[in-house]
Copies of this chain bind each other. A is one copy, B any other.
Amino acid sequence: MDFDVIVVGSGFAGSVLAERLANVLNKKVLIIEKRNHISGNMYDYEKYGFYIHKYGPHIFHTNNKEVFDYLSQFTEWIPYYHKVLANIDGKKVPLPFNLNTLYRLFPIEYAKKLEKKLIDNFGYGVKIPILKLKEKSKEIEDKDLEYLANYIYEKVFLNYTRKQWDLEPEELMGVTDRVPILISRDDRYFQDKYQVMPKEGYTKMFERMLSSKNIKIMLNTDYKEIVKIDFDEGKVYLFNNEFKGIFIYTGEIDYFFNYKYGKLPYRSLRFKFIELDKKFYLDTATENFPNEYEFTRITEFKHFYKSVNDGNINKTIIVEEYPEKYNEENEPYYPIPKKEYLEIYEKYKKEVSNLNNKFRNIKFYFVGRLAEYRYYNMDKVVERALEVFEEIKEGEKNE
């Protein structure tokens, strides 16, 4: 068997492309994965009738019907609305910060006043990033809104961001926008149309995606152990044979280019899993701790599967997340959206476009979180992979 496609990495980016290329274009695909399992950061395993996410809690949510329908070929779903409580001033209050949060934190008359001002100035059912609220309240010189903006900024964002990133919010592009303030009574963490969890876990879904006879999977293998990229010659060798075909890369982009422009930093996490002899430990799946402790949040996995599992077993598993620097031992979780790093990334990105000129017999595609050095939600990375697939398909037609 000769391979038509090499895929480095078996997260969503790699697995969606492998699946499409094998099943739609009948390509022979070799997936190379350095971990001892498939599924990338979505890898989970069952314990006590629910699923534990090894690389941190993953909640699926999307507005993209195409993405949802695509994945529905490989899994059934169960409904799940994610809810998060933040520990602020000793109270557990709903996050994203919303009108209910106001009432939980402030005396009722004051909360009413703030609520009215928010609605008057921004409208109902609207999402505003905290930095925009800060700006606007200054601009309109409203002392109450200014107070509120500063309060939220400090209590919800500032210390959390420092803990999470070891940076000031100002240094990070767009990070605080990820959890905007919500001027409504909706306590859910996400408002997407599809909010679900895979019924038998993510790993089972990936197994089904990759079940084609056309797909071979090589585990425990860093691609550099079996693939040689000869940048001078413009050739790729797989097991010492010249490889011609499609090369999908979903690993770290700087590693691919042997760090020629320096290393791209990541934020990492240490996960502390704790098993407890209790039915439930938290009231909602996740609690954030912006201001206390070393960890940023605690998640209790059992909540995700509550709609199908009454939780009536005296066991639960929680995970605490301790942010840390990315080093040789931990995992590169979050690209750091800081200007200077994005500039380094741009240099690598240019190299990618050069590749396709130099390597006559290879088409390279750099896809996903690590290869594009940007944060992707799961649905977004699936969307992106499906787009890349369309691009490849079009390319083949024209040949």
Please determine whether B225 and A1 come into contact, CB atoms closer than 8 angstroms: yes
Whether, in the assembled complex, A210 has its beta carbon less than 8 Å from a beta carbon of chain B, the answer is yes
Whether, in the assembled complex, A176 has its beta carbon less than 8 Å from a beta carbon of chain B, the answer is no
Please determine whether A313 and B217 come into contact, CB atoms closer than 8 angstroms: no
| A2-36 vs B, Cβ < 8 Å mask (1 yes, 0 no) | 10000000000000000000000000000000001
| A228-264 vs B, Cβ < 8 Å mask (1 yes, 0 no) | 0000000000111100000000000000000000000
How far does the alpha carbon of A207 sit from the alpha carbon of B45 in the complex, in Å? 14
Whether, in the assembled complex, A48 has its beta carbon less than 8 Å from a beta carbon of chain B, the answer is yes
Whether, in the assembled complex, A354 has its beta carbon less than 8 Å from a beta carbon of chain B, the answer is no
How far does the alpha carbon of A160 sit from the alpha carbon of B72 in the complex, in Å? 44
Whether, in the assembled complex, A337 has its beta carbon less than 8 Å from a beta carbon of chain B, the answer is no
- Please indicate the chain B residues that have their CB under 8 angstroms from the CB of A225 in the complex: 1, 216
Measured CB to CB, the closest approach of chain B to A86, in angstroms, equals 32
- Please indicate the chain B residues that have their CB under 8 angstroms from the CB of A2 in the complex: 240
Classify the interface of chain A: helix, strand, loop or mixed.
loop
- Please indicate the chain B residues that have their CB under 8 angstroms from the CB of A47 in the complex: 46, 49
Interface centre among A1, A47, A207 (most CB of B within 10 A): A1
| A45-61 vs B, Cβ < 8 Å mask (1 yes, 0 no) | 11111000000000000
Please determine whether B49 and A313 come into contact, CB atoms closer than 8 angstroms: yes
How far does the alpha carbon of A210 sit from the alpha carbon of B226 in the complex, in Å? 18
| A75-93 vs B, Cβ < 8 Å mask (1 yes, 0 no) | 0000000000000000000
Asked whether A210 and B36 contact (CB < 8 A) given A1-B226, A219-B219, the answer is yes
Please determine whether B36 and A217 come into contact, CB atoms closer than 8 angstroms: yes
- Please indicate the chain B residues that have their CB under 8 angstroms from the CB of A218 in the complex: 216-219
How far does the alpha carbon of A2 sit from the alpha carbon of B226 in the complex, in Å? 8
Shortest Cβ distance from A49 into B: residue: B48
Measured CB to CB, the closest approach of chain B to A39, in angstroms, equals 12
Whether, in the assembled complex, A221 has its beta carbon less than 8 Å from a beta carbon of chain B, the answer is yes
How far does the alpha carbon of A313 sit from the alpha carbon of B311 in the complex, in Å? 10
How far does the alpha carbon of A287 sit from the alpha carbon of B239 in the complex, in Å? 51
Please determine whether B315 and A49 come into contact, CB atoms closer than 8 angstroms: yes
How far does the alpha carbon of A267 sit from the alpha carbon of B47 in the complex, in Å? 33
- Please indicate the chain B residues that have their CB under 8 angstroms from the CB of A215 in the complex: 220
How far does the alpha carbon of A131 sit from the alpha carbon of B240 in the complex, in Å? 59
Please determine whether A221 and B216 come into contact, CB atoms closer than 8 angstroms: yes
Whether, in the assembled complex, A398 has its beta carbon less than 8 Å from a beta carbon of chain B, the answer is no
Shortest Cβ distance from A48 into B: residue: B49
Whether, in the assembled complex, A211 has its beta carbon less than 8 Å from a beta carbon of chain B, the answer is yes
How far does the alpha carbon of A150 sit from the alpha carbon of B28 in the complex, in Å? 59
Measured CB to CB, the closest approach of chain B to A29, in angstroms, equals 10
How far does the alpha carbon of A46 sit from the alpha carbon of B44 in the complex, in Å? 12
How far does the alpha carbon of A163 sit from the alpha carbon of B313 in the complex, in Å? 38
How far does the alpha carbon of A13 sit from the alpha carbon of B2 in the complex, in Å? 28
How far does the alpha carbon of A399 sit from the alpha carbon of B47 in the complex, in Å? 50
23 contacts between A and B (CB under 8 A): A1-B225, A2-B240, A36-B207, A36-B217, A46-B46, A48-B49, A48-B313, A49-B313, A210-B220, A211-B220, A213-B220, A215-B220, A216-B218, A216-B219, A216-B220, A216-B225, A217-B221, A218-B219, A238-B239, A239-B239, A312-B313, A312-B314, A313-B313
Q: Given contact pairs A48-B313, A216-B219, enumerate 14 new A-B contacts (beta carbons under 8 Å).
A: A2-B240, A36-B217, A46-B46, A210-B220, A211-B220, A213-B220, A215-B220, A216-B220, A216-B221, A216-B225, A217-B220, A239-B240, A240-B241, A313-B313
8 cross-chain pairs, A with B, having the tightest CB-CB distances, nearest first:
A313-B313, A239-B239, A217-B219, A1-B225, A216-B221, A218-B218, A48-B49, A217-B220
Measured CB to CB, the residues of A under 8 A from B are: 1-2, 36, 45-49, 207, 210-211, 213, 215-221, 225-226, 238-241, 312-315
